[in-house]
Amino acid sequence: MPLQSPGMVQCNKLMSNQIAEIVQQNIDYLADKWLNAIKKPQEEKLVCEKEVIKVIYQILNGMCLVLVDKEKQSLFKPHGAAFNKAKILGELRRAQGYELEEVLGEYLILRKETWQLLRERLQYKNINVFELEERINFCLTNILKATIESFHHTHTKDLKEKAVTDPLTGLFNRRQFDKLIMQEVYRSVRYERPLTLILLDIDHFKDFNDEYGHPAGDVALVHLAAIIRQFLRVSDAAARYGGEEFALILPETTQEQGFRVAGRIRRAVERSQFYIQNKKKIGVTISIGLACFPNDCKDAKSLVQCSDEALYKAKHLGRNRVVCYSRQNSASRWFNGKRA
């Protein structure tokens, strides 16, 4: 590679300063072009526009620093300040409903606007601008990398969350419940600690849907899920087991303790009401069955079966009550939920 003369080095330094100054003086213009390159209607303001603008300015200011001093390229390398800002911008754009292709389109417009601005304003016409072009492209390329990484990370996170949660209630889905109950039974055996499983469902839910409609039924399910969350510890897990049926896994919980938790949930549901589409305020009741491992059963499958039997008994006794499973299946061993 041929050595540059001192005069050429000085000239390039002056030009890099001039380019940085041009970008800095027109940073409002570039930020506006970037922000409005692809405008999407925001039905719901999930992200403050000022937050997006602030990050854009921080990235452009970082590019100015690189134009003046090549050593500042570290800002745009992975884990650098500007690189991290570009990742944040990707997350913000995704939260605003932008697709990855649209955000990449914004960067292409930014690149075009930057070079058009420099061609119009740059006084040095016959100087080799290869190094400065390389710096600008380095910044823009790494902004793209950060954005793609951000989108892929968020997308993967979303997919993982969707894979384990019920889309309506936000609780775990049946597949995740099956995994969790196996894990917790194994843990219960290993540490010799009790494990209680609660199964519950909404009383007369089919009649409810027939009278008020399925949208109202969805509202009832979401309302019930919200109440359940209020009574869970960090170590507990709740899942939508199927239809109007829910399952609660309570590690290190005896049958008596689980009975008290179930009673609190039953009473809270009985006392609460919610609005449906026609603004009518209504309520529902629930029936609950529970069993405890290892006292009532020998494995995860039988734990679910025992809880289900107790739930069936709760419905048979008149609904809106809590029933605990008993191996002896003796009437004296069934708890009446009205006392819970």
Residues 104 and 238 occupy one common structural domain: no
The DSSP secondary structure of 36-92, one letter per residue, reads TSS----SS--S-HHHHHHHHHHHHHHHHHHHH-GGGGGGGSTTSHHHHHHHHHHHH
CATH number, position 68: 1.10.490.70
Residues 126, 159 within the same domain: yes
Between helix 255-271 and helix 214-230 the angle, nearest 10°, is 130
Tokens of 149: 């990484």
Are 133 and 188 contained in the same domain?
A: no
Asked if 155 and 188 sit in the same domain, the reply is no
Q: Are residues 151 and 22 in the same domain?
A: yes
Q: In DSSP terms, which residues pair with 220 in a beta bridge? A: none
How many angstroms separate the CA atoms of 238 and 229, rounded?
8
Q: Provide the domain limits for residue 302.
A: 174-339
Q: In angstroms, rounded to a whole number, what is the distance separating the alpha carbons of residues 227 and 239?
A: 13
Specify if 169 maps to a domain. no
Return the closest-CA partner of residue 102 out of 134, 71, 147: 147
If you count DSSP H runs as helices and E runs as strands, how many of each does the chain have, helices first?
11, 7
CATH number for the domain harbouring residue 333: 3.30.70.270
Active site residue 192: no
pLDDT by residue for the chain (340 residues), tens only, comes to 444 445 444 555 666 677 778 888 888 888 888 777 666 555 445 557 788 888 888 988 998 888 888 889 999 998 899 999 988 888 888 877 788 778 878 877 888 888 788 777 766 555 556 667 788 888 888 888 888 888 777 666 666 666 788 989 989 999 999 999 999 999 999 999 999 999 999 999 999 999 999 999 999 999 999 999 999 998 999 999 999 999 999 999 999 999 999 999 999 999 999 888 777 889 999 999 999 999 999 999 999 999 999 999 999 999 999 999 986 654 444 454 444 5
3-state secondary structure of 247: strand
Same domain, 143 and 185: no
Name the amino acid, one letter, at 177.
F
Those residues whose C-beta lies under 8 Å from the C-beta of residue 198, and which sit 6 or more positions away, are: 247, 248, 250, 258, 261, 262, 288, 289, 290, 307
Give how far Cα 113 sits from Cα of 40, 138, 232, Å: 20, 16, 54
Asked whether the beta carbons of 290 and 197 are under 8 A apart, the reply is yes
Taking residue 55's Cβ as centre, other Cβ atoms within 10 Å add up to 21
Q: In this structure, is residue 18 part of a structural domain? A: yes
Q: Check whether residue 149 and residue 282 sit in a common domain.
A: no
- What torsion do the CA atoms of 57, 61, 66, 72 make, to the nearest 10 degrees? -100
Q: Are residues 334 and 196 in the same domain?
A: yes
Assess whether 187 and 258 both reside in one domain. yes
Is residue 1 in a domain?
A: no
Catalytic residue among 131, 149, 192, 244: 244
> Which domain-ending residue is among 112, 142, 163?
163
Buried b (16+ CB within 10 A) or exposed e, 229-248: eeebeeebbbbbbeebbbbb
150 and 186 share one domain = no
Contact yes or no for 174/185 (Cβ under 8 A) = no
**Are 118 and 219 members of one domain?**
no
Q: Could you give the 3-state DSSP secondary structure of residue 235? A: coil
Is residue 102 within 8 A of residue 38, CB to CB? The reply is yes
Nearest-angstrom CA–CA distance, 292 and 185: 10
The last residue of one of the domains, among 163, 190, 217, is 163
Q: Are 314 and 288 in contact (CB under 8 A)?
A: yes
Q: Number of folded domains in the chain?
A: 2
Q: Could you tell me which residues are beta bridge partners of residue 177?
A: none
Q: How far apart are CA 4 and CA 133, in angstroms?
A: 17
One domain, residues 97 and 116: yes
